[in-house]
Amino acid sequence: MAQEMIEGINPTRMELLKLKDREKLAVKGYSLLKEKRNALIMEFFNILERVKGSRENVEEKLKEAFEDLTTAQILMGDLAVNKAAMSVKESIELDIDSRSIMGVVVPVLDSTSSSRTVVERGYSFVDTSVKLDEAAKKFEESLALIIELGEIEKTIVLLAGEIESTKRRVNALEHIIIPRLENTVKYIEMRLEEMERENFVRLKVIKKSMEME
Amino acid sequence: MKSSIAVVADADTVTGFKLGGIKEGYVVESTQEAEEILTNLIKEKTAIIIITEKIGEELREVIEKFTKSSALPMIIEIPDKSGPSHRATDPMRELIKRVIGVEMVK
């Protein structure tokens, strides 16, 4: 591993220059990628702060909502609840934007869920129970939470994927490509020096033999 | 950009979310049905699809295919009436562990 280098390289000055350029590029890319990785991880930690407990919140809220729904179903009967549900107006307006974190496009949701009054929901009061109102309210609330959770989880998944691939690239550059280039450069330099010495000796020998004549 | 939310779940969950103000609710009984509806919804560019954890568990591969790389659609799994299912490993936690390298206390 320590002496690994690129195979099939001719020890010429031309190759040496080319390799040196490549090495410079690799080092530059490495430091850029490292910065990118660090920035991504920082962003990742920020989002982790937000995800804390938000799934638990959703679960809690939904549990309450389902309890109220079940009570409403018991009081009014399944059919009546279904009928009421059919006539509820759409409550949520969703605006989807996207934001780019170091080239990763993550969604930004802007939901305007106006918590509505009972009248605005759209079902009649004659044959509905109070529990239904409560269930509807809780479902509205949990919907807002769910959307937020979805945004956060999606961001985490996308960021995680990008971090992983960046990490892999950084590691590949650091541990394989750059050392290999360095070794090859060193090898070519040594070969060139050796050739120079050989030439030098050869010239000396020739000079001596010419003087002898 | 026009965007919409849809629910694909069992009857009670759909009723609940309809009360909460979502127009597009699909009651599904079988895994196959769920898969068909999901595929359709994704084709129609629905932005957010809410499904129950049970369906999510069964259609894990289909969902992952759609959500791995792109920002939309967002498929969110929620617990149904019977409460949150207890998965052996929390996928989020796994992911974070893999990325950061150490277990984060969540």
Measured between CA atoms, how close is A111 to chain B, in angstroms? 11
pLDDT at A192 exceeding the cut of 90:
yes
Average pLDDT, chain A: 84
Query: What is the rounded average pLDDT of the residues A200-209?
Result: 95
B19 in A contact zone (CB under 8 Å): yes
Give me the mean pLDDT over the A156-165 stretch: 86
- Size of the A and B interface in Cβ pairs below 8 Å: 129
pLDDT digits (tens, 9 = 90+) for B3-22: 578 888 888 888 888 877 77
Mutate to test the interface with B, among A60, A138, A154, A155 (most CBs of B within 10 A): A154
pLDDT at A199: 96
- A134-138, A153-157, A176-180: which is most confident: A176-180
Q: Decide if A130 touches B, using CB distance below 8 A.
A: no
**Digit-coded pLDDT (tens) for B35-60:** 888 888 877 777 888 888 888 777 77
CA distance readout (Å), A26 to A31, A36, A124, B28: 9, 15, 70, 54
Give the integer Cα–Cα distance in Å for A199 and B9: 83
B contacts of A132 (beta carbons < 8 Å): 19
Q: Which of residues 25-84 of B touch A (CB under 8 A)?
A: 47-48, 50, 67-69, 71-72, 74, 76, 78-81, 83-84
Chain B closest-CA separation from residue A97 CA (Å): 8
Most A CBs within 10 Å: which of B4, B19, B78, B82, as the mutation test of the A interface?
A: B19
Which tens digits make up the pLDDT trace of A71-95?
A: 888 888 878 887 777 777 776 777 7
Residue A122, C-beta contacts closer than 8 angstroms, at least 6 positions apart: A87, A88, A89
List helix spans (H) across A77-212: 78-86, 118-121, 130-172, 178-212
User: What residues of B are in contact with residue A139 (Cβ under 8 Å)?
Assistant: 16-17, 19-21
Confidence check: pLDDT of B2 > 60: no
pLDDT above 90: residue A130: no
Q: Is the pLDDT of residue A198 over 90?
A: yes
Identify the pLDDT of residue A208.
94
Contacts of A161 in chain B (CB under 8 A): 68-69
